[in-house]
Structure 1
Amino acid sequence: MITQSHEYKPDVLGAGYEQLTLNFPDDYDGKVTATLVRKKADQPTQKAVLYIHGFIDYFFQKEMAEQFNQHGYDFYALDLRKYGRSHLAHQKYYYVLNLNEYDAEITEALNIIGQEGHSSVVLSGHSTGGLTSTLYAAHHPKHPLIKALWCNSPFYDFNMPLWKKKLALPKLSALGKRLPKLQFPSELNKWYVTSLHKDLKGEWDFDLEWKKKTYPKVYLSFIRSIYEAQKEIHTGVQVNIPALIMHSHKTTYPKKFNQDAQTTDVILEVKDIIKYGNKLQGDLTVMTIQNGLHDLVLSAPPVRAEVYQKLFEWLALKDL
């Protein structure tokens, strides 16, 4: 196999991490870039993983990358357009009109991974990235590289009462088509980032500009783009590769910082993940992680150790 080299530069995560800027045609806001981050395994391998972060997020989970490296995978992650490393001064953070906009960087990243000598890719996504990666896998059933899908608490439904889903969401989505820049209360639990960051009440070091402590309002364009993508998921899309859907054991809504904020999903309703995860068609495994946070790989040490054990056991079982 002939491999092609690309001009990576050192990444903010330090030794062994490299980044590559991906350029795309201008969109409705102007210049657009995405960023591919790479961490290679110690030994040459044809296996790789491509990770896609969630909303108000970016790639910083070094332990996850190194776990994949230790199990014989080169690790790649995307910072999507208008997120993290890819955000440009003229752009509104996280602004999107349709989740399919991200197909361009996922496709380009996969092309690069293939050019760099890989024949097998685990496509992975967390939260909104789990929704995006599921739909990408469903829309590209014959992609030559994608051999498995691993979703970490995918955003398969909005976490809100049924009456809001039935009455408010369709109206907000319709309004979002006409007034995409209108903002609406996000209702995100304020304790989530607090439970993670080392300077607050967690153990992780990340950039609080790129992954903000609070985000009180979202653009209606985001609500519309998610709603339209979820409608497709809710019909039960076909996924032609083995898929592993992981989620916490329960959802809570802490009003003050407490143990629930450190041992449950405070962002999405896990019952929705289970319901719609099980509607996917194909070789599917939906798995509960006891005491998991919304981002399962940021949970307490014994919890995330179980995540990795179960993940790599599953990949071995599927011969991936």
Structure 2
Amino acid sequence: MEWQTDILGTDFESCGFEARGIDGVPRRATLVRHVPGSAQRPAVNGAVLFLHGWSDYFFNVALAEFWTQQGFRFYALDMHNHGRNLREDSTGGYVAHLDDYDAEIGTAIGMIRSGGAGNGEPEPLTLMGHSTGGLVAALWVSRHPGMVQFLVLNSPWLEMHGSSLVRRAAQLMVKPVARIRPLTVLRLPERGFYYRSISSSAEGEWALDEKYRPPLAFPLRAGWLSAVLSGHTRVARGLDIDIPILVLLSGASANGMIWRESMRHSDAVLDVNIMALRAMTLGRSVTLERVDGGLHDVFLSASPVRDDAYARLARWIRGFITDRGNTSATDAASDEGGQE
């Protein structure tokens, strides 16, 4: 495995690798790491691994810088059939079972731990996921207890719009097609409202590479939707995660087939009230933060709103991670921060 300068510039490196799942199929993923050239607070609080959403990739430099400034080593994983792994023959965004991500997540965590402090002590790891990546992260943690110590979810996709009844009806319709012809493209209405609100090529402020993050997302296939619905069912039954969890959501949703100005300061993808209810089924220690004016990715919102989101995240980090009793480490970080 060889690290090379990433598409995000000299402060980032990436490493492509293949991970073989329990089905024996090798899948290509890419791990990205933040390697700032300037002096930074020492990484005394462990590492963070970020999982992107569906039809997306890691591009948020500010998010990496935030975690680094908080005393973490920051990593992000472009999962298979996404982002940096896309090739001409890729089936963009497709996964037949959400468990198919297990091998690449496990491999990435192994790579992260191998690059740790090397003092013999296990390094605390925080897993962070956005949207579908949040669903994947929550399910992965529930199936691999003890592998990570903290979980942060940014607008996780934990349930379908409407209710569990909508999900069950969708499962009845999709499962037969997914079983026989999983790559069948479902002809559903396409909206680019969220992309319109974030991309600098539209009306947003973020530079997105359309090779990695298409405006109208990837084709929605039966096998993929069936996998997501199965994941939602598992969440609804309760995951019993026993580590601290932070869930960040917008304060409101704005759905519909016609563009509305409210979509500039609300979640135009998910029903945040349903997500808030489902968040309570994740585990025993769940902190829910509602960010007024937040977009679907609260850290891509307008500047004052994302400042609020980062402040809420920083407060949770202080409460659950940096004040967990590792006083010598946090004191060292504070001393170093005071010298900057």
TM beyond 0.5: yes
The 5 Å alignment of 1:276-315 reads: 276-315=278-317
Q: Do residues 263 (structure 1) and 265 (structure 2) align? A: yes
Query: Which digits, 9 at most, give the CA deviation of each residue in 1:130-174, with x for residues without a partner?
Result: 00000111111122xx11100001010122576643423322133
Structure with more helix by fraction: 2
Larger-gyration structure (1/2): 2
The 5 Å alignment of 1:237-256 reads: 237-256=239-258
CA 13–275 in structure 1, closer or farther in 2 if over 3 Å, else same: same
CA 230–161 in structure 1, closer or farther in 2 if over 3 Å, else same: closer
Give the AA of the match of 1:196: I
Query: Which digits, 9 at most, give the CA deviation of each residue in 1:97-119, with x for residues without a partner?
Result: 00111111110111111111150
Query: Which digits, 9 at most, give the CA deviation of each residue in 1:161-200, with x for residues without a partner?
Result: 7664342332213321221011113445321101111121
The 5 Å alignment of 1:1-320 reads: 7-25=2-20, 32-40=27-35, 42-46=40-44, 47-117=46-116, 119-143=123-147, 146-160=148-162, 164-215=166-217, 217-320=219-322
Residues 155-164 or 110-119, more deviating: 155-164
Query: Which digits, 9 at most, give the CA deviation of each residue in 1:76-102, with x for residues without a partner?
Result: 000000101012332211111001111
What count of residue pairs does the alignment treat as equivalent?
313
Residue 313 of structure 1 and its aligned partner are, at CA, apart by 0.7
- Equivalent residues of 1:254, 1:260 under 8 A apart: no
CA 77–186 in structure 1, closer or farther in 2 if over 3 Å, else same: farther
Runs of 4+ in 1 over 4 A off after TM superposition: 26-31, 160-163
SS at match of 1:150: strand
- Equivalent residues of 1:173, 1:227 under 8 A apart: no
Residue 256 of structure 1 and its aligned partner are, at CA, apart by 4.0
Backbone CA RMSD of aligned residues: 2.1
- Equivalent residues of 2:54, 2:133 under 8 A apart: yes
- Equivalent residues of 1:185, 1:216 under 8 A apart: no
- Identical positions, percent: 28
SS at match of 2:59: coil
SS at match of 1:57: coil
Residue 236 of structure 1 and its aligned partner are, at CA, apart by 1.0
SS at match of 1:125: strand
Gaps of 5+ in 2: 118-122, 323-340
